[in-house]
Amino acid sequence: MRKILKFVAPILVLTAGVGSVMALSAAKEAPEKKEEAPRPVSLYVDDVRSENVRLSVRTQGEVRPKTEIDLVPQVSGRIVSISDSFAEGAGFTPNEALIQIEDSDYQLAVTSAEARLAEAKVKLEQELADARIKRKQWQDWVKDGEPTPLALNQPQVAEAQAKLRAAEADLDNAKLNLSRTQIKVPFKGRVLERTAGVGQYVNVGAKLGRVFATDKVEVRLPLTDRQLTELNLPIGFVADKDNAPTVALRASLGGEDHVWQGRIVRTHASVDKQTRLMYAVAEVEDPYDRAADQGMPLAVGLFVSAEIASVVPQQALVMPRDALRSEDKVYVIVDEKLQIRTVNVLSTSAEQVIVTSGVEPGEQVVTSPVRGAHDGMAAVPITRSARNDLDSASR
């Protein structure tokens, strides 16, 4: 019996203790639950500004000559001399003789044409003299009626006059062919390619080389529909002196950055079928001399980046670039509540974003990162000036 009590007694005591604790817990009142309001998030903000802005877009393109032609002869013959200016890369002046074709045959043709002209002049004088004699004879001998043109030698005079004009035309043509033995171009330029040599016989229309003018160069710049809208340029635009957008062309040469100034002179009147882009043409005058940057010309064939500035300013809403989320979303704090807005983006850069709608001037847009943002989230705006004041106080 003792052994049984010694074994059972501890179990009974333990059971009684557990039961007492459970009874006391059941009799105790449950603690009152308090729901804490979510703490507002402090976010940096900047004000939306309404400004009159001139937009700019960036693109790129290749420098091309405005005038580029093949050099071809208009007469046949053997090349007897070539100017030092007619070498690849060399420059030449307007109407400089670049190639001389043998002209002996053409000088002989001029001499022959001069002889025929002199003969035609003599023939005309003879026919005019005969016409005067015949008119005098008619007046002295016949007296009655009207003479026929043949009786007065008029057809012969007309024939002699026509032959004289033909002889003059032949002489002009012979002189023109003689002048064409010197191959010239009417502009200042440079040589791209030379395919002729001294002693070579060339026919009319044979390609002797390729040259381009250096008075102006062009850069064909691709633009999207959105970029055209930003610049307010229509398709088929043609500029005049007052409405030509300016363009800055940039390239790195010899380890240095160079900038050349030009202007947009026109846009294409069609859309490229392959790229679906539209093109604007920038023009730079005197790129090898007056428009050169620190002595560096805007050379043909150079690949450049371009920044085009619009001519007409427009009213828009400006905010920091950090305010833009995704492609067209911004966060606005109104009455310490976060609102997610959709904006119509007009232009963006590394520093700012320009929109036309979605926010109002003076509203506060969030520029700091936000996790788990949603409409109605509690938020406290902190301006940049307030942060600077806190930083100064801590120092």
Give the pLDDT confidence of 11-32 residue by residue, as tens digits: 666 676 666 656 666 665 555 5
pLDDT, tens digit (0-9, with 9 covering 90-100), for 348-359: 888 889 998 899
pLDDT, tens digit (0-9, with 9 covering 90-100), for 54-103: 888 889 999 999 999 999 999 999 999 999 999 999 999 999 999 999 99
Query: For the chain, what percentages of helix, strand and coil (3-state, to nearest 5) are there?
Result: 30, 35, 35
- The β-bridge relationship of strands 314-320 and 41-47 is unpaired
- Residue 185's pLDDT is 94
User: Residue 394 pLDDT more than 60?
Assistant: no
pTM comes to 0.68
In angstroms, what CA-CA distances link 290 with 216, 298, 305, 308? 11, 10, 20, 21
92, burial (CB in 10 Å: exposed 0-12, middle 13-18, buried 19+)? buried
Task: With beta carbons less than 8 A apart as the criterion, state whether 324 and 318 touch.
Answer: no
- Residue 347's pLDDT is 81
Write out the two tokens for 300.
């043909």
User: Residue 392 pLDDT more than 70?
Assistant: no
The string of DSSP letters for 316-328 reads EEEEEGGG-BTTT
Which of 232, 234, 249 shows the shortest CA–CA distance to 311?
232
Four-CA torsion 166, 171, 173, 174, nearest 10 degrees = 140
Four-CA torsion 245, 251, 256, 258, nearest 10 degrees = -20
**Amino acid at the residue 260:** W
Spell out the residues 6+ positions from residue 25 whose beta carbon is closer than 8 angstroms to its own.
none
- Residue 17's pLDDT is 66
pLDDT, tens digit (0-9, with 9 covering 90-100), for 130-187: 888 888 887 777 767 777 888 778 899 999 999 999 999 999 999 999 999 999 999 9
**Amino acid at the residue 377:** M
- Residue 172's pLDDT is 96
Kindly indicate the confidence band of residue 320, based on its pLDDT and cuts at 50, 70 and 90: very high
Alpha helices in the chain (DSSP H): 2-27, 104-137, 154-179, 225-231, 384-394
Q: Give the phi and the psi of residue 66 in degrees, each rounded to 5.
A: -75, -35
User: Residue 33 pLDDT more than 60?
Assistant: no
The string of DSSP letters for 259-292 reads EEEEEEEEE-SS--TTT--EEEEEEEESTTTTT-
Distance between terminal CA atoms of the chain?
84
CA atoms within 13 A on the CB side of 356: 9
- Residue 395's pLDDT is 47
